[in-house]
Amino acid sequence: MLSEKDLVGVWRLVAHRYLEDDGSASEGPMGEHADGLLIYHEDGYMAASLMRTGPGTAPPQTYLGSADDYLGYSGRWRVHGETVVHEVLIGSHPRVVNTEQVREATVDGGGLRLLRRLGGPHDAVVMDWRRA
């Protein structure tokens, strides 16, 4: 059973991919070299930041970015069964503010996998994290 204690701490993104019903995976929305941090504080607040990095990304000092290159939000969090619910209070994209972002969560061997079911051309997006 998933508990809050399993999640409290700082996590670094390892992989961000689309996952299909047949088990195959493809490059996720932030590209092959996505990077990110996920913070769950014991007081119930959280912050998540994901960004596109790697080949083809301009140097940070000259690049202002776009909505497709960064996603960040913060707010409250709670565990509900085998899911973690992010109650978004502020975010880089208005479409996520005041929403609940629900992720299926699995903690195994020091890693965290968050899976979000999609209703579009892909079955899900999966994010693998390791403790920072």
Q: Which amino acid is at 90?
A: I
Domain edges within the chain: 4-131
Integer Cα distance of 120 and 74 in angstroms = 25
Query: Per CATH, the architecture of 4-131 is what?
Result: Beta Barrel (2.40)
CB distance 49 to 72 below 8 Å:
yes
pLDDT digits (tens, 9 = 90+) for 30-65: 888 899 999 999 999 999 999 988 765 554 544 445
Integer Cα distance of 58 and 107 in angstroms = 34
pLDDT of amino acid 16: 93
pLDDT digits (tens, 9 = 90+) for 11-22: 999 999 998 888
DSSP 3-state of 82: coil
* Verdict on whether the full-model pTM lies above 0.85: yes
What does the DSSP 8-state code read for residue 57?
A: P
Start-to-end CA span in the chain (Å): 23
DSSP 3-state of 4: helix
